A and B are shown apart, each in its own frame.
Chain A
Amino acid sequence: MSPKPILSAFRQALGESWAGGAGALLPLGFFAGAAVLVPLGIGTEPGMLRAVGPGILWVSLALSSLVTLERIFQADVEDGALDLWLQAGAPVSAIAAAKTFAHWLTAGLPLALMSPVLALMFQAQAGIGLLTGALIYGIGGLAFFFWGGVGAALSATVRRGGLLIALIALPLYVPTAIFGSMAMRGAALGDTAPLLLAASTLFALAAAPFAMAAALRLAAD
């Protein structure tokens, strides 16, 4: 099978999520907005903010992934692109993975890159740990996007599927959230928690595309 439909789906998803949402600004704005609501809600005591900051960023990252994924496959169902892929015998799992990866590139990676700034606002120590943290958020975000993609593919034919995606995907986010926040507490890359986080992300990368493909075949019927 030629890689052409995969590449074109990737490029199209990249363009869509970049152009359709004011570039990376919209997800970044949502991420930052969700995060800065927290000090307003729980108070501004520096020690407490330092303790909860990494966790707040995980929650904001999970919410941002859910918000941006809602329409990832709906357009393909509506405009017939999905039917064309299936007719042409294109590898739907690879296409779904490419699209999800494109969404992570435009809406997940920028958040990870911005996490050091938010971490500083949450009173984290400046230093190399912030960059390690960005890497950890990037790896964990990838798992969020792939499991969220399964929820998005399952609810591709459901009108207003956003809440459904959240309910489906949140239990699948648990290992990433746990390993991720443990990794942020350790914050040295060779420790167990970052390795477990990377392993669970690899598991998501391996398993989620097939679930997405099965769900998309269902959506095309």
Chain B
Amino acid sequence: MGMLSAFANPHRFLALSHWLAPLFYVVGAALIAWGLWQGLWVVPKDDYQGGDIMRVMFIHVPAAWLAMASYSAMAAASFIWFIWRHELADIAAKAIAPLGAVWTVLCLATGSIWGKPTWGTWWQWDDARMMSVLFLFFLFLGYMALRAAMDSRQKAARAGAILAMVGALNVPLIKFSVDMFTSLHQDASVITADGPKMAAVYLWPLMMSGLGHSLLFGALVMTLMRAEIWTRRAARQRARLLAGA
């Protein structure tokens, strides 16, 4: 709890993110650029995965990681806000939602682009992972729509937190139910019980690209959070000025 409270201080957050966000932007962009350069020009193509089109993996897989990680992060932030009422946690949840939705769409779009030449279809209804990511997207949309419909910041925070927690409770069930469909998607091949089974030549660019996307995501979240904090301060300042005048 001590550490959580330390992070909950907006002043400390502003001071920290002042240099951390630019750092994340630069390192994230560099890693993504390196991963793309490796992926598009250096690594050999894999004919079992559709030839050159498999190079979309270096965006698709990081996007899938982030789609799942961002919903978990949003639910965790909502939980922290709901229990301890740290304002920063709500600001974080609010900032994560639109970004998570964007990476979810990125995952779906690159998946479709990969799927068309390899499986012969843009969309496969009985693929469990496509369905899971699609429902994740709807969970993000519902969260944003609910927040937008509330008439005060406090109510938006509470309603959003309740919905994010209900969603997080349901995610395992949704995942389990769509898994019961048969799947033509290739099985998980980066993280398995006996270590990664992907060739190292693909693994390194993929890991770096994943790290780069995560850093970029983190930087964007921090930027949105900073904007929200400054917006709130400006509103308070305006109210104070009006009251004084």
Query: A1 within 8 Å of B by Cβ?
Result: no
Of residues 193 through 221 on chain A, the ones whose CB sits less than 8 Å from some CB of chain B are: 196, 200, 203, 207-208, 211, 214-215, 218, 221
Against B, the Cβ 8 Å flags (1 = close, 0 = not) of A165-183 are 0011011101100110010
Contact B145 A174 (CB under 8 A): no
Chain B residues whose CB sits within 8 angstroms of the CB of A168 once the complex forms: 142, 145-146, 163
Contact B138 A150 (CB under 8 A): no
Q: How far is the CB of B105 from chain A (nearest CB, A)?
A: 16
Q: How far is the CB of A139 from chain B (nearest CB, A)?
A: 15
A192 and B122 CA atoms in complex are apart in Å by 31
Q: How far is the CB of B147 from chain A (nearest CB, A)?
A: 11
Of residues 121 through 175 on chain A, the ones whose CB sits less than 8 Å from some CB of chain B are: 150, 154-155, 157-158, 161, 164, 167-168, 170-172, 174-175
Q: How far is the CB of A213 from chain B (nearest CB, A)?
A: 10
Query: B176 within 8 Å of A by Cβ?
Result: yes
From B138, B176, B178, B180, A170 is in contact (CB under 8 Å) with B138
A196 and B162 CA atoms in complex are apart in Å by 25
Give B169's nearest chain A residue, CB to CB: A207
Size bin of chain B's contact surface: 20 to 34
Of residues 127 through 147 on chain B, the ones whose CB sits less than 8 Å from some CB of chain A are: 135, 138-139, 141-142, 145-146
Contacts A164-B145, A171-B167, A200-B173: A178 and B151 contacting too (C-beta < 8 A)?
A: no
Against A, the Cβ 8 Å flags (1 = close, 0 = not) of B8-33 are 00000000000000000000000000
From A161, A175, A208, B177 is in contact (CB under 8 Å) with A175
Chain A residues whose CB sits within 8 angstroms of the CB of B163 once the complex forms: 154, 168
Contact B169 A215 (CB under 8 A): no
Query: B237 within 8 Å of A by Cβ?
Result: no
How many residues belonging to A are interface residues under a CB distance threshold of 8 Å?
27
Contacts A168-B142, A171-B170, A178-B177: A161 and B162 contacting too (C-beta < 8 A)?
A: no
Q: How far is the CB of B185 from chain A (nearest CB, A)?
A: 17
A19 and B109 CA atoms in complex are apart in Å by 48
Give A174's nearest chain B residue, CB to CB: B174
Give B158's nearest chain A residue, CB to CB: A218
Q: How far is the CB of B151 from chain A (nearest CB, A)?
A: 7
Q: How far is the CB of B97 from chain A (nearest CB, A)?
A: 13
Contact A218 B146 (CB under 8 A): no
Contact B149 A172 (CB under 8 A): no
Chain A residues whose CB sits within 8 angstroms of the CB of B53 once the complex forms: none
Give A160's nearest chain B residue, CB to CB: B149
Chain A residues whose CB sits within 8 angstroms of the CB of B146 once the complex forms: 154-155, 164, 168
Contact A221 B170 (CB under 8 A): no
Give A215's nearest chain B residue, CB to CB: B162
From B141, B159, B180, A178 is in contact (CB under 8 Å) with B180
Give A179's nearest chain B residue, CB to CB: B177
Query: B166 within 8 Å of A by Cβ?
Result: yes
Q: How far is the CB of B29 from chain A (nearest CB, A)?
A: 33
Contacts A175-B173, A218-B155: A164 and B149 contacting too (C-beta < 8 A)?
A: yes
Q: How far is the CB of A175 from chain B (nearest CB, A)?
A: 4
A175 and B135 CA atoms in complex are apart in Å by 11
Q: How far is the CB of B138 from chain A (nearest CB, A)?
A: 5
Contacts A171-B138, A203-B173: A161 and B149 contacting too (C-beta < 8 A)?
A: yes
Query: B42 within 8 Å of A by Cβ?
Result: no
A18 and B149 CA atoms in complex are apart in Å by 30
Contact B135 A182 (CB under 8 A): no
Of residues 147 through 184 on chain B, the ones whose CB sits less than 8 Å from some CB of chain A are: 149-151, 154-155, 158-159, 162-163, 165-167, 169-170, 173-174, 176-178, 180-181
Contacts A167-B142, A207-B169: A218 and B174 contacting too (C-beta < 8 A)?
A: no
A211 and B178 CA atoms in complex are apart in Å by 24
A167 and B141 CA atoms in complex are apart in Å by 8
Of residues 89 through 127 on chain A, the ones whose CB sits less than 8 Å from some CB of chain B are: none
A-B contact pairs, 10 of them (CB 8 A): A155-B146, A164-B145, A168-B163, A170-B142, A171-B167, A171-B174, A179-B180, A182-B180, A218-B155, A218-B159
Residues of B at the A interface (CB closer than 8 Å) are 135, 138-139, 141-142, 145-146, 149-151, 154-155, 158-159, 162-163, 165-167, 169-170, 173-174, 176-178, 180-181
Give 7 closest A-B pairs by Cβ, nearest first: A175-B177, A178-B177, A168-B142, A158-B149, A167-B142, A171-B138, A218-B158
